[in-house]
């Protein structure tokens, strides 16, 4: 994963949400993805890299059940893929 500026990611959340609507995801799914991404960004440093994402996942594992952790990480991964940061 290439480095991502937190501000760039935040600036693209609304565009991402609009894309999810165009992809015809349910309103509930869209809300969950957006909330998960916003929560993730709140915990990220100004420059996001693989190390900071792994640290985030490890912190989630201390707070939530594995299914919840995986769900949140899926939301983040989908956003990162949409941003073109991962394949």
pTM of the model: 0.92
- Average pLDDT of the residues in 54-75: 96
pLDDT in tens, 1-40: 778 999 999 999 999 999 999 999 999 999 999 999 999 9
Beta strands in 19-69 (DSSP E): 47-48
Residues 44 and 52 sit within 8 Å (Cβ to Cβ): yes
């Amino acid at each position: 994963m290439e480095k991502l500026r937190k501000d760039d990611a935040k600036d693209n959340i609304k565009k991402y949400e609009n894309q999810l609507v165009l992809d015809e995801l349910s309103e509930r799914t869209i809300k969950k993805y957006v909330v998960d991404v916003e929560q993730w960004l709140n915990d990220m440093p100004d420059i996001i890299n693989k190390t900071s994402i792994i640290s985030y996942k490890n912190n989630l594992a201390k707070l939530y059940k594995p299914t919840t952790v995986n769900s949140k990480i899926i939301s983040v991964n989908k956003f990162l893929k949409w941003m073109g940061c991962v394949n």
